[in-house]
């Protein structure tokens, strides 16, 4: 029998969740919900879903769902997840998991109490190229892993931290086998961020509709301490798009480098290797592309070559069917958001901050 899946929030990312449930064996997409009737009808028409709701509580009560994707903006992730848990439904939640650790903890408590999974959809790590890169790094193909570097897409850093930063933290958690600490420095309009620079995400970033709660700063340099002593470096700053978005890890080892970036023309991820530890203008050997057999990307007869939600949804489906914890379930669902809080705590305390944090309230909101 197929798992009955639903989706709350029928905007941009819902297409990727709908495509996943539409394609995965043993899952049937049966119901969708949005307060915006046009958004609901558009997405439900696209995937032939006839059970449509404007109220998620009503959908949870009526549909006997096994699994729901929470695809609204971040401030609604907690109330929707908690309602789903109370209805006994497993939750695959979009990132960022929530706007602060306090509400994220409440989500996890509600899911644990109801004995349902809570997983966050950081799909990058589940893709075949990321898995392949990890296996090559672990096999010593670039010597000793020294660092991972990531750069934002060019939106104001406080906003970007909640959009791409959480994905990058998860990526680093994956490649570094866990994150131990964060050390960050944040500026706004050229000066060190102070309490006067704390604002709502819509005030900071006027070019993106998404609500990421309270944020600060247009520029961030974040150092990430991996569990085994290797470093991550994240740079988020305002800039124009160049050569596509360039999102993806640059892994530097003592004997070589790997990069996974979307091709700027096709948007399809590519993995590249350079057999040298650092880059000199004149003496760097040529980069070569590392391909994977097409079969690695096939799910239900179709090749999924980029960072599609189907990769995290598949892990969630398997966890439900096999009675395991999803890879980004339980406390692992909180890690990337722990890093967001730690970034602000580190900046304001001017200290290196260990994870997990004791203080769970939003670091930018005074109680």
Ligand X SMILES: NC(=O)c1ccc[n+]([C@@H]2O[C@H](COP(=O)([O-])OP(=O)(O)OC[C@H]3O[C@@H](n4cnc5c(N)ncnc54)[C@H](O)[C@@H]3O)[C@@H](O)[C@H]2O)c1
Tell me if 11 contacts ligand X by CB under 6 A.
yes
Tell me if 34 contacts ligand X by CB under 6 A.
yes
Tell me if 8 contacts ligand X by CB under 6 A.
yes
In the complex with ligand X, the residue whose CB is nearer, 97 or 142, is 97
Longest distance between any two alpha carbons in the chain, whole Å:
65
In the complex with ligand X, the residue whose CB is nearer, 209 or 351, is 209
Contact assessment for residue 136 and residue 218, using Cβ atoms and an 8 Å cutoff: no
| ω into 234 cis (within 30 of 0) | no
In the complex with ligand X, the residue whose CB is nearer, 142 or 328, is 328
Residue from 23, 103, 121, 343 in contact with ligand X (CB under 6 A): 121
Residue from 28, 35, 246, 299 in contact with ligand X (CB under 6 A): 35
Binding mask 205-234 for ligand X (x = CB under 6 A): ----xx------------------------
In the complex with ligand X, the residue whose CB is nearer, 257 or 309, is 309
In the complex with ligand X, the residue whose CB is nearer, 213 or 253, is 213
Measure the CA–CA gap between 322 and 87, rounded to whole angstroms.
Answer: 21
Measured from each CB, the residue nearest to ligand X is: 11
Contact assessment for residue 297 and residue 303, using Cβ atoms and an 8 Å cutoff: yes
Q: Which stretch binds ligand X (CB under 6 A): 31-39, 143-151, 173-181, 225-233?
A: 31-39
* Element (DSSP H or E) covering residue 70: strand 67-70
Residues 314-343 that bind ligand X (CB under 6 A): none
Binding mask 57-96 for ligand X (x = CB under 6 A): --------------xxxx-x-----------------xx-
Which residues are within 8 A (CB) of 185 and not within 5 positions of it... i.e. 6 or more apart? 192, 220, 221, 347
Sign of CA dihedral 310, 22, 39, 31: negative
In the complex with ligand X, the residue whose CB is nearer, 201 or 346, is 201
Measure the CA–CA gap between 202 and 204, rounded to whole angstroms.
Answer: 5
Q: Is 229 exposed, middle or buried (0-12, 13-18, 19+ CB in 10 A)?
A: exposed
Q: Which stretch binds ligand X (CB under 6 A): 34-42, 269-277, 319-327, 347-355?
A: 34-42
Tell me if 171 contacts ligand X by CB under 6 A.
no
DSSP string computed for 123-158: -GGGSHHHHHHHHHHHTTBTBSEEEEEEE--SS-HH
Measure the CA–CA gap between 228 and 27, rounded to whole angstroms.
Answer: 38
Q: Which residues bind ligand X (CB under 6 A)?
A: 8-14, 33-36, 39, 56, 71-74, 76, 94-95, 121, 123, 163, 209-210
């Amino acid at each position: 029998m197929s798992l009955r899946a639903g989706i709350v929030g029928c905007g941009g990312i819902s297409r990727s969740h709908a495509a996943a449930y539409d394609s995965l064996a043993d899952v049937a997409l049966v119901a969708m919900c949005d307060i915006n009737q046009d958004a609901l009808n558009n997405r439900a028409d696209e995937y032939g879903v006839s059970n449509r709701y404007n109220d998620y509580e009503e959908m949870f009560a009526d549909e006997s769902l096994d699994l729901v994707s929470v695809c609204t903006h971040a401030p609604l992730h907690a109330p929707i997840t908690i309602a789903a848990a109370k209805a006994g439904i497993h939750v695959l939640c979009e990132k960022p998991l929530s706007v602060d650790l306090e509400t994220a903890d409440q989500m996890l408590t509600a899911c644990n109490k109801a004995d349902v999974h809570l997983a966050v959809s950081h799909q990058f790590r589940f893709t075949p190229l990321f898995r392949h890169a990890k296996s090559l790094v672990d096999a010593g193909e670039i010597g000793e892993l020294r660092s991972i570097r990531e750069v934002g897409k060019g939106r104001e850093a406080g906003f970007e931290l909640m959009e791409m930063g959480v994905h990058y933290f998860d990526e680093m958690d994956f490649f570094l086998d866990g994150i131990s600490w964060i050390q960050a420095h944040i500026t706004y309009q050229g000066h060190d961020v102070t309490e006067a620079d704390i604002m709502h995400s819509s005030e900071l970033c006027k070019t993106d509709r998404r609500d990421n709660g309270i944020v600060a700063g247009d520029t961030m340099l974040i150092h990430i301490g991996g569990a085994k002593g290797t470093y991550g470096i994240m740079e988020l700053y305002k800039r124009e798009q160049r050569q596509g978005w360039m999102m993806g890890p640059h892994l530097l080892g003592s004997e070589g480098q790997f990069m996974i970036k979307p091709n700027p023309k096709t948007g399809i991820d590519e993995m590249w290797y350079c057999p040298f530890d650092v880059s000199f203008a004149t003496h760097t050997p040529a980069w070569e592309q590392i391909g994977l057999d097409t079969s690695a990307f096939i799910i239900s007869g179709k090749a999924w070559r980029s960072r599609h939600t189907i990769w995290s949804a598949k892990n969630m489906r398997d966890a439900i069917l096999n009675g395991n914890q999803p890879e980004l379930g339980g406390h692992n669902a909180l890690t990337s958001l722990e890093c967001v809080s730690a970034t602000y705590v580190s900046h304001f305390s001017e200290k290196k901050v260990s994870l997990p944090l004791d203080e769970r309230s939003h670091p930018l909101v005074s109680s």
